[in-house]
Amino acid sequence: TPPEDTTPSVYRLPFPPGFTERGGCPFDPPPMLRDHHDQGEVREVALTDGSTGWLVTGYEEGRTLLSDPRLSSDRLRNPLVVKLPAQLRAQLMADEAVAGNFIAMDPPDHTRYRRMLTRQFTLRRVRQLEPRILEIVTERIDAMLARGTGADLVRDFSLAVPSLVICELLGVAYEERGEFQARTEELLNLDIPFEKQLAALDELRKFILGQVRRKRATPTDDMLSDLIRSDTEPALTDEEVVGMANLLLVGGHETTANMLSLGTFALLEHPEQFRALRDRPELMDGAVEELLRYLSIVHHGLLRTTTEDVEIAGRTIPAESLVIISVSEANRDPRHYDTPAALDVSRPRRTHLAFGHGIHQCIGQQLARSEMTIAFPELLRRLPGLRLAVPADQVPLREKMAVYGLHSLPVTWDAPDA
Ligand code: HEM
């Protein structure tokens, strides 16, 4: 049986009925999103608590709304969060949960934090990291090969790679990586109750705080040291640096991990695409964009609150409304893509919303792309005859999770010739 849903509280929101229920295909968005398309790409929907929200399923509409300054990302303004039980709300509003967590802020606060990080995520900085990413990928594959001809790709590969890459980026010392990984694994372990996850988050914050204090005393050449040194007025507090580091960890770990495992599963289930990619490695960059579009793992969509009445697609969304921009539906909008429901690694490039759009567009997207364009070819190349070790319908899906993907992916490959 799949583990109990221990999604963080912010996602235990009264979404529309059926919002997290899946249809037959493990790669398709929840059918509920597609229902009532006749009511338009922007429509008012009932939520399970009796209130209403606005669901956006069109590509152009989604893109337009994501760059509209009248839509707020401030979590404390979100009508669903406002209605949460007092204790959960208090957790979300606690100082340490808010400090540096700029994904949930609007300008000018958002701008101030984000600007401090953009330097760290330039294409050049990411390219510098690529040799290390390849080493990390190689080490993980070596370890899988050393153990035999089978593995759980989620546990043995997909979760480990992004976590080690973030260690590299933040500058967590080698001796301490084991501790860092143990903590982040705990954070993502779905078998433990929600309270324990919160405790794990607390532990992780303490761990990062320890790193921040050390780097204040002895700076090194990495992102944490740079943030500490940044000459902003007022200077960043330790809590803010920890909050920013934590956001990078949370934003960059599960997302990339699920793209790696769900992406591999999707390729295994589309053998002609798998073969095309193995035979023509030059397709890889486009294939990564296509997998991002096709899988759109941020399944609950992007949440915003209108600060004023907003007119779009002939509708008026009133001020203070919850808006759910469904990235997965927008990325399969038939007005924007031919045969949107097909996975086609040689599809001509078109833009997609898998990394969002506008001022909050994923700051780690180049890094995520590098991780995927390095990891997929190495998996295809070094694990000959890679295939599922269980029937496809027994691969446990992360059905009700904020970030869609897999709980595990049992795979096997051919033994080397004796
Ligand atoms: C923002 C997706 C990897 C860090 C976002 C957003 C999306 C997204 C959709 C926009 C959220 C919104 O508008 O509310 C993804 C996917 C990834 C990925 C699909 C992997 C394939 C990463 C990585 C990092 C990262 C590797 C960092 C190491 C962030 C941060 C934000 C963000 C810090 C907030 C940006 C802001 O609010 O200005 N991501 N992400 N992400 N992502 Fe990613």
Q: Look at residue 79 and tell me whether its pLDDT is greater than 70.
A: yes
Question: What does pLDDT average to over the chain?
Answer: 88
Helix (H, G, I), strand (E, B) or coil at 144: helix
pLDDT digits 0-9 by tens, 321-349 = 999 999 999 999 999 999 999 999 999 98
248 lines ligand 1 (CB under 6 A): yes
Contacts of 371 (CB under 8 A, 6+ apart): 133, 161, 162, 165, 256, 260
Neighbours of 358 (CB within 10 A): 16
Q: Which residue has the higher pLDDT, 306 or 121?
A: 306
pLDDT digits 0-9 by tens, 272-296 = 999 999 999 999 999 999 999 999 9
Cα 97 to middle of ligand 1, angstroms:
17
Q: How confident is the model at residue 3 (pLDDT cuts 50, 70, 90)?
A: very low
ipTM of this complex:
0.99
Going by alpha carbons, the residue nearest to atom 26 of ligand 1 is: 252
Cα 237 to middle of ligand 1, angstroms:
23
Going by alpha carbons, the residue nearest to atom 43 of ligand 1 is: 362
Dist CA 226 CA 41 (whole Å)? 43
Going by alpha carbons, the residue nearest to atom 22 of ligand 1 is: 252
Cα 367 to middle of ligand 1, angstroms:
10
Cα 279 to middle of ligand 1, angstroms:
31
> Following CA atoms 253, 259, 264, 265 in sequence, which dihedral angle do they give, to the nearest 10 degrees?
110
252 lines ligand 1 (CB under 6 A): yes
> Following CA atoms 50, 52, 56, 62 in sequence, which dihedral angle do they give, to the nearest 10 degrees?
-130
Task: Tell me the pTM.
Answer: 0.93
Q: How confident is the model at residue 190 (pLDDT cuts 50, 70, 90)?
A: low
Dist CA 230 CA 120 (whole Å)? 12
Q: Report pLDDT for 1.
A: 47
DSSP state of 155: I
